[in-house]
Amino acid sequence: MTGRDEAWFDEAAGPLVRPYAVTGGRTRTDSVGLDLMTLVVALPSVTEAAGMAPEYARIVRLCQRPMSVAEVAARIDLPLPVVKVLLSDLIEQNYVIFRRAAPATEAPDQHVLQAVLDGIRKL
């Protein structure tokens, strides 16, 4: 076997491209402020992901229905910071829209929760 024919990586090692290479070296994006629970969805007009980088196209295809940022990261098997950068790019390019989860300070009051509980008990 010549030096050129030798396998220089292990099949089980996974992707050979470092995550920061996918984002062009960017590790953070503060323009959108995505968190784990932020819901993202591709716009209906973005059905064709042709011409996009593979990672962007995967996200657009995956986000045909609303899902959280954490779920996107888990399904495309990339680190969360990388997914946040990619999603921020897609949001800025109007391929994806997002909605943040309600802050904990806007939780329903005790009267609303009691009414829901009473309604469940009547079932």
Is residue 77 domain-resident?
yes
Print pLDDT tens along the chain (123 aa). 455 555 545 556 555 555 666 666 665 665 778 888 899 999 887 656 667 888 888 999 999 999 999 999 999 888 888 899 889 989 998 999 999 876 766 667 788 888 989 889 988
C-alpha span between 85 and 65 (Å, rounded): 20
Q: Does residue 3 belong to any structural domain of this protein?
A: no
Instruction: Confirm whether 63 is domain-assigned.
Output: yes
The answer to whether residue 104 sits within a structural domain is yes
pTM: 0.65
Domain of 50, in residue numbers: 11-122
1 occurs within a structural domain: no
Q: How many domains does the chain have?
A: 1
